[in-house]
Amino acid sequence: MAGELSGTGDSARFERVVMPHVDAAYNLARWIVRNPQDAQDIVQEACLRAFKFFGGFQGGAPRSWLLKIVRNTSYSFLEKNRPASLAEEFDEKVHAADRPEMNAETAMVKSVESLMLRQALDELPANFREILILRELEGLSYKEIAEVTEIPIGTVMSSLARGRERLRDSLLRMRGKEGLRGVR
C-alpha cells in the first residue's frame, strides 16, 4: 500500500530520523491537552501514524513533520474526548528533570515563578499558547511553526508577538498581586 513502510531499512531510518524528536512531541501534546497521560497516548498514536506513513516522507524537517502529526492528533483527541477547558493541568514538579540541590529560598522563588508562568500560559488562548510553546520551548523557526500549524508565516509572527505581550501582561499582573502579599 502507498505510504506504508517497505522493510526494516525504513524502520531503522525512522528510528534515526524521527524518534529523536519524541520529547518535543510529548511537550507539545502535554501543553495542548494539559494532561500527561493523554499526552503520552497522543504521542504514541502520532508515532504510529508517522511510522505508517514514513515511506511518503520526502525529507525536510522531521521534527516539524512529527510535531504537525502530534498537533493534529492532539486536536482530534480534544474534539473527540472533551473540551480543552476541562483538561487537567500539567504538574511540572512531577515531570521535572533532576536538578541540583538549591537552598530553600531559591527553591521557593523558582517554585513561585514556575507556577506564575504556568498560570500565565494557561490563561492564554490555545493558539497563542501553542505558538509560544513551539517557538520558546521547542525552538522552532517561524517557517517550521507555519508548517506545523498550517498558518501563514506572517500570522505566526503576529500571533507570537501578541502572545508574548499577553503573557508579559499576565505575568506583570500576577507579580503585582504577589508583591501586595509580600512575596518577591
pLDDT tens-place string over residues 43-76? 999 999 999 988 877 778 889 899 999 999 999 9
Considering the segment(s) 102-180 as one domain, its CATH architecture is Orthogonal Bundle (1.10)
Q: Where are the beta strands (DSSP E) in 98-176?
A: none
Distance in angstroms (rounded) separating the CA atoms of residues 31 and 39: 8
Say which residue, 82 or 156, is predicted with more confidence. Answer: 156
Domain 8-85 and domain 102-180 have a common topology: no
**CB distance 89 to 118 below 8 Å:** yes
* 135 pLDDT more than 60: yes
Residue 108: the pLDDT is: 55
Domain assignments of the chain as residue spans, ordered by start: 8-85, 102-180
Measured CA to CA, the distance from residue 169 to residue 132 in angstroms comes to 15
Q: Tell me what pLDDT residue 29 has.
A: 92
Cell representation of residue 8: 526494516
For residue 68, what are the contacts with CB-CB under 8 A and spacing of at least 6?
A: 147, 148, 150
Task: Calculate what percentage of the chain has a pLDDT beyond 90.
Answer: 34
CATH number attached to the domain at 8-85: 1.10.1740.10
pLDDT at 140 over 70: yes
Cβ neighbours around 51 below 10 Å, total: 17
Q: Is the confidence at residue 96, as pLDDT, over 80? A: no
For residue 25, the tally of other CB atoms under 10 A from its CB is: 27
Mean pLDDT of the chain: 79
